[in-house]
Amino acid sequence: MEPFPEIPNLCRHEVAARQPHPEPRLTGNVVRAGWTTLAVLAGTALVLRTADMIPGWLAGVPRGVHLCASLEEAEARTGIGIRGTRKILDSNTFAISEIRTTAKPVQAVALIMRDARGTNQLTLFRSRGGGIPDTLRPPQPAFNEITVALRPGQMTALRAARKDDGSVWQDLEWSDSQGNTALRYNGRTVELLHLAKQLTEVLR
């Protein structure tokens, strides 16, 4: 029997060229490196989110409420203009004790203020697109309610509530083109109305 003729080198090259090349596979080290990178990124995101929430935990604020270091930070977080209130609050001898913001159910901010004795006496609330969230202004049952005029054509309800320590706090709220504004005050009604009328001029 005659041996099979030898395949020319050219044919061998053509046969080899037609053979499929094996697809590259990721090595075990590459896979492990990928998972490690994902774990590091996830851990970093968790640490940053936790760090952002720590001030609120330390102060005992409700979940979803953020403590701000300045009026500028509160405005940046909520888009609510509140820096215009600074001059009025200073003229009424109030100092900002704490600034709180929330994003849900609506963007809102609360400025908690103390008097000359260092006692929290007034809170100014401001929201966009809805009422003041309960996380910023906890509900309090009113024992008295009257209707007052803030300016010509703008009437609103003034409510008084008594806390467990016997102190009386008054709530006043109104709306304008920018949103809702409210005050919670521990003091004389005439002082509250005077402050509210001043604020209606700068918060329109």
More confident residue, 47 or 73: 73
More confident residue, 38 or 119: 119
What pLDDT score does 47 carry? 37
Tell me which amino acid residue 141 is.
Answer: P
CA–CA separation, 190 vs 63, rounded Å?
A: 35
Please provide the distance, in angstroms rounded to a whole number, between the alpha carbons at the two ends of the chain. 108
What pLDDT score does 203 carry? 76
pLDDT band of residue 10 (cuts 50, 70, 90) is: very low
Q: pLDDT tens across 93-140, in order?
A: 888 999 999 998 999 999 999 988 888 899 999 999 889 999 999 999
CA–CA separation, 39 vs 193, rounded Å?
A: 56
**Residue 175, helix vs strand vs coil:** strand
What pLDDT score does 108 carry? 97
Instruction: Find, among 180, 185, 152, the residue nearest to 170 by Cα.
Output: 185
CA–CA separation, 156 vs 172, rounded Å?
A: 7
CA–CA separation, 150 vs 195, rounded Å?
A: 10
CA–CA separation, 204 vs 199, rounded Å?
A: 8
Say if residue 8's pLDDT is above 60. Answer: no
